[in-house]
Amino acid sequence: MSAIHTWACFLLWIGFATQDKTPDVTVTCFVSQECVLPCSFQPGGEEIVEWFRQDVVVYKFEREPDDDDDEDDENSSKEHFEHEQIAGRASFSPHFVSRGNATLILRGSGLKDRGTYRCRVRTSNGEHNAKVIVKVEAPIQGLSVELTRLSGYEEMKCTVRDVFPAPRVTWATEPSTFEELRPVTRMIANKQGLYTVDSRLKRLNGRPNLIYICKVTPSYGGPAWTASLRERELKGAQGRDLTIPCHAPPYLNNPFLHWSFTNGGDPSHILTYDSRSGKSVSTSPWDNHVELDGFRVPFGDGSLRLMDPHSEHTGSYTCVFSVPRNTHTERTDVIIDGPVGEQRTAEAPSYWWIVGLVIAVLVLVLVLALAGLLVYLKMKGRTSKNRRDPEHVTELRLVKDSTADRNLNESSPLTVGGTNGQSDPQTGS
């Protein structure tokens, strides 16, 4: 019986010891914003509230005994901040204490506010303790990608400012390439401990129409941000309509489209298009010079038609597709030459000069080929004649020798008037 009684008392003590024990609470706060440290308890009167940071008292509130009037809480209680880091930025609502709420609020939170806080409340009914773990982060607010030439060659630059903790940066291209990408990423912390990320990737040679994609992933596991860029050049003629292409990557759905123009000064707005509402808004003086096919924008085609362009339309045109945490930019440098007639006149001499040069080269090659062929045939004829001369000369000599012998025999005195040593009967010899 005594053993059972002992175990019952032990379990009852454990129950009373843990009945007011609350689990640890983790709070994530953002830089420069309010940070709420919750603390709830069972009210019992004569409350004394203390907040600790790393076991050091930073705030204390004490209600006067036998005073339960909510309206007079502020006048019948004592409160003070024990730590200069909290003083001036923290707020506490004494009139909520009687309702079991001892929440502490920090305004303009920063990285120095990170750590473990503990709320201890003593009432006439007992004591309550709650632990709050505060994490402070500076989330990504924006991401930009641009083309720079400051290093002596063209490179893509991806920038993120005032983030904490330091994120992870990766690069990709669309379409993908077999060439290894080797970005250089630097992370520099300022006095407040916030990071500025600068990641650079050298532009690939021979691939002018590639889309370069920079992806930044927060270390605390939040959603990733992406920004991509494509640069191109385009030429047009005055008075002839020109289409400036702009195509979004396939991972952007129902994007918001913005077109702008600059010729060295501040960018001027051309038009915007909202894929969700289907509304397009353009500004003067572009109303009569641009045209956009709104049916194609939700499918990623935001190409702009420039109508009746003139020399003043020469400059840089930028289109930006955007959805939350994702942007795609295409920048096109457009050059508008002289009128169509003048352009053709200027181009004609260059064109016919090239054709004439090609024809002259072909004629020269043909003449050289014919001359070479004639020389070859002539040399071949001489060689064949020299080879036939010895036989021909031998035959002529044989014929001449035979004729000479025959003539000699007919005219020799040994053969005239006699045969076989007999004399002529007429002469009697």
177: CATH? 2.60.40.10
Rounded Cα gap, residues 165 and 215, in angstroms: 16
In this structure, the answer to whether residues 128 and 178 fall within a common structural domain is no
pLDDT at res. 105: 93
In this structure, the answer to whether residues 183 and 269 fall within a common structural domain is no
The two tokens of residue 371 are: 């001359």
CB-hemisphere CA count at 13 Å for 11? 6
In this structure, the answer to whether residues 133 and 150 fall within a common structural domain is no
Name the pLDDT band for 405 (thresholds 50, 70, 90): low
For 294-336, what is each residue's pLDDT tens digit?
A: 888 888 899 999 999 989 999 999 999 999 999 999 999 999 9
Rounded Cα gap, residues 393 and 387, in angstroms: 11
Among 196, 180, 220, smallest CA distance to 143 is for: 196
pLDDT of 388 above 80: no
Rounded Cα gap, residues 139 and 368, in angstroms: 76
Torsion (CA) 343, 346, 352, 353 in degrees, nearest 10: -140
In this structure, the answer to whether residues 184 and 245 fall within a common structural domain is no
401 inside domain: no
For 146-170, what is each residue's pLDDT tens digit?
A: 999 887 789 999 999 999 999 999 9
Which residues are registered as beta bridge partners of 257? 273, 321
Rounded Cα gap, residues 236 and 244, in angstroms: 10
* 3-class secondary structure, 352: helix
Q: Which of 223, 258, 281 is the last residue of a domain?
A: 223
Rounded Cα gap, residues 228 and 175, in angstroms: 12
pLDDT of 112 above 60: yes
404 inside domain: no
264 inside domain: yes
In this structure, the answer to whether residues 197 and 257 fall within a common structural domain is no
Q: Which of 349, 372, 391 is the last residue of a domain?
A: 349
Is there a contact between 198 and 169 (Cβ–Cβ < 8 Å)?
A: no
Distance, first Cα to last Cα, the chain: 198
pLDDT of 429 above 70: no
List CB contacts of 22: < 8 A, sequence separation 6 or more.
40, 128, 129, 130
Please identify which residue in the block is written with the tokens 């004490």.
Answer: 62
Q: How far is CA 357 from CA 346, 347, 353, in A?
A: 18, 16, 6
pLDDT of 390 above 60: no
Tell me how many domains the chain contains.
Answer: 3
384 inside domain: no
Amino acid at position 178, single letter: F
Rounded Cα gap, residues 58 and 51, in angstroms: 6
Neighbours of 228 (CB within 10 A): 25
Strands (E) in 240-381, as ranges, are: 242-244, 256-262, 268-274, 279-282, 290-292, 304-306, 315-323, 326-339
In this structure, the answer to whether residues 236 and 295 fall within a common structural domain is yes
Give whichever of 263-277, 316-330, 396-410 has the largest mean pLDDT. 316-330
| Average per-residue pLDDT for the chain | 79
pLDDT of 392 above 90: no
pLDDT of 289 above 70: yes
Report which of residues 299 and 5 the model is more confident about: 299
In this structure, the answer to whether residues 54 and 80 fall within a common structural domain is yes
In this structure, the answer to whether residues 255 and 244 fall within a common structural domain is yes
104 inside domain: yes
Rounded Cα gap, residues 358 and 368, in angstroms: 16
Q: What is the mean pLDDT of residues 378-400?
A: 56
pLDDT of 26 above 50: yes
In this structure, the answer to whether residues 130 and 53 fall within a common structural domain is yes
Share of the chain above pLDDT 90, in %: 43
426 inside domain: no
Does this model's pTM top 0.85? My answer is no
Range of the domain at 99: 23-137
170 inside domain: yes
Rounded Cα gap, residues 364 and 204, in angstroms: 42
Rounded Cα gap, residues 372 and 168, in angstroms: 71
For 236-256, what is each residue's pLDDT tens digit?
A: 999 999 999 999 888 888 889
Name the pLDDT band for 77 (thresholds 50, 70, 90): low
Q: Which of 89, 112, 137 is the last residue of a domain?
A: 137
Amino acid at position 130, single letter: A
| DSSP per-residue letters across 315-341 | EEEEEEEEETTEEEEEEEEEEEEEEHH
In this structure, the answer to whether residues 208 and 253 fall within a common structural domain is no
In this structure, the answer to whether residues 336 and 234 fall within a common structural domain is yes
13 inside domain: no
